[in-house]
Structure 1
């Protein structure tokens, strides 16, 4: 499970690059009841180009205007690190590439973004005043992270060397392949925070065959939330369907092409702060 008790290598933040921030924030408001809080100067023309998405007053994710030419709208997953500069050096030694060099976010923390050797993009966050997301593993929040990669063995070697992750392989029913569940270094199995799975390039249609990470959001009713996605301009790639021992899930795409997964877990979730 994902918690807000962040340890090195655990997911601690997510953000979304979008071509139209207010419109995209409105889509997620309708789907998850998230509220958008702008971080821009109120009178500036770009006041709404960056902000935070909140649920019940707690920060869930960041959202910013997509500015990189040719880039697709996508969710970025940040993993906690005690030293972004040291992690950057390790990424390069292990064959990854630096997309955004380590930089300070005022006094909130220090961040960097990378591409793994197979092409999957991810990021790290070195906590300052901001430790990370303020809620997780409850309805409307991040509950899992997932990597679709073209080489599972190489991905496990890279991330295992970088973060110290341990993995546990599970054979999917019906010959669906092997799914590797990820646990942060030195943590028990109940702190598993994600998984990775090998897929052929022709199955990775959103990225033209390149590996990618995506977030999984917990919801109380997968089918009802899927209906909100489709009625507000999003689409469904897979599901809703039941996964034994996991829950009911669906792979969705927002109106800009950013993918995410909805999951109603088979075990009860902690209640949100709402009465």
Structure 2
């Protein structure tokens, strides 16, 4: 387990949150699955819940505001030092701002955007809240990726707006690039596989670290969710796609012999 107290470099996925119709139900599900202690804020925050590990924030769970139709999804936020500048760059590069830049009390400033393929993501300019403060442990974010129905356009967009380098690892009908900042992998972007139903839009996904992917899949089912397929091994860990008890997809991944344990992982 590693702690991180400083603002994340521009372009780094620094936070994830979930907005759902039933916040209490989501809190119970993810507490049971990932071991989070979720602490609700006051009325001024909309009772936004901060998921904590070792007393430090790792994710957010909020209630969909009354009267607003919003998809129940995990949103990935990319850290930026100037959200207004980032929003302008997104528009110039062919993206769209769908939630305008706003202040979030003294915690920071945010916006929500979509890339040219329609995948939604957030921007976070840190104030008091810098983003996730724990990594390399069960219950923390492990990876964030954009799967796009227009991979060339999306790839060019993120390179232009955030200055990412790319490491193309495509092959065998698989189209995917690792996004790099200063030579360090911080996320991925891929082409939507052909077997994905046409109604599934381009999207950003979040992976959470777990100690045991098989046990987590079984636990998700016990808590009212479901597994999409069986856990499988990859060079990056043993992983499985899950859906929570309100229909929200996400993935979990556990270290395996191929991947080894990430730096800072407790034995």
Do the aligned partners of 2:75 and 2:204 also contact (CA within 8 Å) in 1?
yes
- 1:166 deviates by 1.1
Match of 1:225 in 2: 216
* Mapped partners of 2:118, 2:83: distance in 1: 20
* Mapped partners of 1:255, 1:114: distance in 2: 26
Runs of 5+ consecutive residues of structure 1 not aligned to the other structure: none
Runs of 5+ consecutive residues of structure 2 not aligned to the other structure: none
* Mapped partners of 1:181, 1:246: distance in 2: 12
Match of 1:20 in 2: 22
Match of 2:240 in 1: 250
How many residues are aligned here?
259
* Mapped partners of 1:124, 1:95: distance in 2: 16
Q: In structure 2, the residue corresponding to 1:36 is in which secondary structure? A: strand
Match of 2:204 in 1: 213
Do the aligned partners of 2:136 and 2:265 also contact (CA within 8 Å) in 1?
no
Could you say what the CA RMSD is over the residues aligned between the two structures, in angstroms?
2.2
- 1:70 deviates by 4.0
Match runs of 1:37-186 below 5 Å: 37-41=39-43, 49-67=47-65, 69-172=68-171, 175-184=172-181
* Mapped partners of 1:114, 1:271: distance in 2: 33
* Mapped partners of 2:3, 2:38: distance in 1: 22
Do residues 240 (structure 1) and 231 (structure 2) align? yes
* Mapped partners of 1:142, 1:204: distance in 2: 26
Do the aligned partners of 1:139 and 1:219 also contact (CA within 8 Å) in 2?
yes
* Mapped partners of 1:96, 1:17: distance in 2: 22
Match of 2:190 in 1: 197
* Mapped partners of 1:200, 1:143: distance in 2: 22
The 1:55/1:149 distance shift into structure 2, 3 A limit, reads same
Misfit runs of 4+, over 3 Å: 2-5, 67-70
- 1:200 deviates by 5.3
Do residues 271 (structure 1) and 262 (structure 2) align? no
Do the aligned partners of 2:174 and 2:193 also contact (CA within 8 Å) in 1?
no
Deviating more after overlay: 192-201 vs 17-26: 192-201
Match of 2:33 in 1: 31
